[in-house]
Structure formats: C-alpha cells, structure tokens
Amino acid sequence: MANSWRISALAEQHRKLGAELEDWNGMGTAWNYAVSDTADDHETIRTRAGLMDVSGLKKIHCNGPHAQAVLDYVTTRDMSKLYPGKSVYASVLNEAGKFVDDCIVYCLAPNSYLVVHGTGTANEMLAKSALGRAVSLTFDDDMHDMSLQGPVAVDFLERHVPGIRELRYFHHLQTQLFGCHVMISRTGYTGERGYEIFCKAKDAPSLWEQILAEGADMGIKPCSFGTLDWLRVESHLLFYPADNSETYPYPDQPVGDTLWELGLDFTVSPGKTEFRGASEHFALQGKERVKVYGVLLDSKDVAQIGDKIYADGKCVGVITQGMYSRLSDRSMALARLEPGYAEHGTPLTLKTGTDDETSLSAISHSLPFDDPEKAKRLARG
C-alpha cells in the first residue's frame, strides 16, 4: 500500500478479516476480505445487510454567515431548500461547465454544513470560493463513516435508535448508538434502504464490533469496499474518475464530461441558473459526445473494464465496470457509449480478452438495472 496520509481507525478490524489495505483517497481501505468474496458480500447487502467502512470519503465543515452562499455557488443545488436534518446530493463543476466532483451536503444547523465528497476537487473549489467570505472551512479527518446497507438495516437500528424508521431518505439525525454520539444519515451508495453512521475515530472500532456482534442473528456481516463496484452497476451510481473521461480521455479534447453526458443533469435544482460553470453547462445541452448507459450481456460472462463495444462495424463505446449477479442471473455493465447507441435494446458486441479475441453479444439497457422506481431507497415505515 502506498503511504497514506490519513489514518484509518478501523485498520485493525479490516486486517483481522484478511484485508490488505489499499490507498483510496489518502486512507487505507479494505477493497477485499479474505473471509468472503465479492459475490457473497453483494448477496449479503441485497438480501440482508452489510457493514462497510467508507471513511475514506473526505469531510469538510463549512460554517459561517456566508456558508450557504459559498455552497450555492460551488454546487448545482439550491441550498435554500436545506434545513437542519436535511441533506442533498450535488455536483461540482469547473468554469468550463464540466464535472469535477460530486458530494452530499448535510445541513447541521443554520449557517453550518458538512460536505462529504470523494476523489474530485470539491475541496479546492470550496477554498477558492471562500476567499474573502465570512466562512470557515475545516477538513475533518477524525470523523469516520460506516455504511450499514440492506433490507434489514432499519430493523437492526430500530432496536437501538428510537425513531429511526421514520427517518426519510436524505435526512439525518444526531443520536446515540451503543453509548457513542453519532450522526445517522439515510443515505448510501448501494441502491438499498441504508444508513451511514458518522462517528468519532475513537468510537469507530467499538461501534464496528458491536454492530456486527448484535446484528449477527439478522445476518449482518462486514462487506468490503470493493463490493460497491457491483452494487453501483446495478443501481446506476457513478464513481469518479472510473466512469469519466479522466480515465477514458477524448482523443483530441481536454478531459471533462458534462452532466448531460454523465446523466447527472438532475442534480441541477429546478430554476437554478447561478453556479460555477452554469452558463457553459446549459450551453452544452444537446452536444453530448458520449452517454453513460447500461449494457446487458447475453451470457454469464463478465464484461471487463476497458472492453471495447462495437456496433455497425465500428467501436461505439467502452465498458467502465461490469458484474454478474447470481441473484438475478444477469451480467451487467456500465459503459460510455456514443449517444446514438444509448437506446434500450440496441444490439452490441463486446470485444474482450487479450487482443480483443473474444466476442460477446449484448444489448444497450436503460439504467438502473435494479429497482428502477427506487422503491427501496424511498420506502417509508
């Protein structure tokens, strides 16, 4: 593992499960466990519940009289719609109107927000916009984040957290769990009804151990970070820069994708026209060079990252992530496709293996593959 500059309080717990920690976002992360494989972990989360360590996400506190104004300019969402206990998923663009990061913004109190983001440049964008403003930005590396995802997650938490069943999607609460102060958010990166548990680093090991011990009778198990790649394929969740032009650059253009190309245009709040890169964003509508879309294989073969996609005798796209689900008996993938081929049911051929010697039959498929009505994520009661 490369030298990580961020300390994981759960490193020992991961090593006990046979993980060789790999650097992600500056923190040692358990991509795989020796005690289970990805198919097992995928089934655990889809049928029961899995506990994952996602503490590698970066956390920034944005406080002060100008906090809302700064976030309004940096992100595509209307921050005036947030209130204490409410959060929102947002995109961050550069001056050219191209995507550089996504984040969840949590409103903790008036003029007080928590911004949680991945490997993009949200931190830099916030710092640039905060100059000369009455706002403070504090990077919080003590806060850890465990994600409890799956259909029995709410049943487990209900044993310990009063009112958790009434917590709505993209809402959060401050509470106690096993004697530790935590913030529990009804969010996640799996497509399931799930919860993220934010806590102090010193409390993370005991919370991890107690959740797994108390939840064992419900089938709750530790699941590796790498499982998210399978879940996100089914649930149409992008992972920067894995699905972006930073990984698959355009031959004659700078890197950078539009929200229209990524399918993230929904992250612009209705009626909002003032944010970084806004005019360029709106001007780029209808000029998509590529579309992130689904691919469904006609076999149990798994599409590999970088596999080329052909149709009409030419290369029309590339696979960014594939997986086979033994639960649905389907082989699925996310892909970057030429817009004309991002239509449900379009016949495709994948070239895979060394020197593209193997051909696999497939079709374009609308996203998400799993729970297109988002009934699991939005469920109440």
pLDDT (tens digit, 9 = 90+) per residue, 282-294?
Answer: 999 999 999 999 9
Give dist(CA 305, CA 331) in Å, integer: 13
Cα–Cα distance for residue pair 211/152, rounded to 1 Å: 13
- 129-184: pLDDT as tens digits: 999 999 999 999 999 999 999 999 999 999 999 999 999 999 999 999 999 999 99
Nearest alpha-carbon partner for 140 in 186, 106, 91, 179? 106
Ramachandran category for residue 358: left, alpha or beta (phi over 0 → left; psi -120 to 50 → alpha): beta
pTM surpassing 0.95?
A: yes
> Is 80 exceeded by the pLDDT of residue 244?
yes
Query: What's the rounded mean pLDDT across residues 319-338?
Result: 98
pLDDT at 110: 97
Q: 103 with 75: CB under 8 angstroms?
A: yes
Q: Is residue 355's pLDDT more than 80?
A: no
